[in-house]
Amino acid sequence: MITLTLANVMMIPLVLFLTWLWFEDAHDIIESYSWRKKCFALIALSLAAGSVLLITNASTLAHCRKRAAKLKDEALFGQEHESLFGECPICMLPLPSDRSQFRTKICCMKWICSGCILAATERGMNNICAFCRQPTPRSNAAILVLIQKGVDAGNANAMFFLGEYYFDGQYGLQRDEARAMGLLREAANLGSVKAHYQLGLVYAHGERGLRTNMVNAEYHWEIAAKAGHPSARFNLGVVEARKRNYDRALKHFIIAAKMGEASSLKGIQALYKDGRATKDDYFRALVEYQQAVQEAKSNQREKFKALIRA
């Protein structure tokens, strides 16, 4: 935009000169002036026209920025917000927001709910994936072979998992932060929402050799939140509340609570206590949160929870 503005200003004397040549009358009048007056008139006209163009361009720039912010907000808040996790592909019930209640099967990269995993175990299918029926790898070597196969095939989620394995030194791998970050970034570039969420955490906390950078953290969480990641949405709410943008914080918390994200409900409660949200905001969010939690319940899932608690 600045380049455009300078180019416009530089064109002004040329345009004025051509105009001067074009209009015979103006030419005759100006011919009668001394060369000092001509120069003065040309400079004055150039400055005046330049100022008009600068103001116009500054106003256009401000308008563009406003429009870009509006479009960004429309994408962030103005659509239907379904949870990224969707439904368990076996029982077809919505997966809960609580990440401990389902697992990723690395054979098919599907999220299987705890209830279906328990049901498969009860049927003696301990060593077979309940969804794709592939044998479940047991040894470190077999797990790494399977995940590497996914990475070689360009699977973004496989890259994310291998990155996490390198970071934690899992399955016998030597801890390698640089390699872990490379895989995480590649996974994010290929569209892994989990990788975007994780990158947001890494930037927010200044981990893995990176400095804290909240601009980058927000960038990655916004991508994850738009894709329906409940925790990314909650984190954006916290970021906005810290910036005292309470309206935006409330919007994020309401969306996340609707997906069954428990911390967001507490966030709305805190905003309500501070007079930043209405009673109606809180109760509507509570009803939608309870609805999401209820829809994600099944006898088998409750049985799994009871077993874990025992």
- CA–CA separation, 229 vs 222, rounded Å? 9
Q: Specify the residue, 53 or 90, whose C-beta has the smaller distance to Zn ion.
A: 90
CA proximity to 130, closest of 119, 138, 139, 140: 119
- Find where tokens 């947001």 sit: 200
Q: Which amino acid is at 78?
A: G
The residue behind tokens 């905003």 is 271
Nearer to Zn ion (CB atom), residue 53 or residue 91 = 91
CB of 281 to Zn ion, least distance (A): 33
How far apart are CB 302 and Zn ion at their closest, in Å?
13
- 42 vs 109, beta carbon nearer Zn ion: 109
Q: Crossing angle for the helix pair 35-77 and 2-22, nearest 10 degrees?
A: 140
Residue number with CB closer to Zn ion (102 or 197): 102
List residues binding Zn ion (CB under 5 A): 88, 90-91, 105, 107-108, 113, 116, 129, 131-132
Q: Is the CB of 107 or the CB of 268 nearer to Zn ion? A: 107
Q: Which of 223, 193, 166 is nearest to 109 (CA)?
A: 193
The distance of closest approach from Cβ of residue 111 to Zn ion in the complex, given in angstroms and rounded to an integer, is: 9
- Placement of tokens 């990475």 in the chain: 151
**Minimum CB distance to Zn ion smaller for 49 or for 90:** 90
Tell me if residue 79 falls in helix, strand or coil.
Answer: coil
Q: Which of 207, 210, 159, 215 shows the shortest CA–CA distance to 185?
A: 159
**Comparison of 129 and 256: residue with beta carbon closer to Zn ion:** 129
Q: Which of 64, 161, 59 is nearest to 109 (CA)?
A: 161
Strand residue runs (E) in the chain: 102-105, 110-113
Q: Smallest gap, in angstroms, from Cβ of residue 309 to Zn ion?
A: 19
CA 81, 87, 92, 97 torsion-angle sign:
negative
Q: Which amino acid is at 11?
A: M
Give min distance, CB of 296 to Zn ion, in A: 10
The structure tokens listed for 58 are 């500054």
Q: How far is the CB of 301 from Zn ion (least distance, A)?
A: 8
Shortest Cβ 308–Zn ion spacing (Å): 16
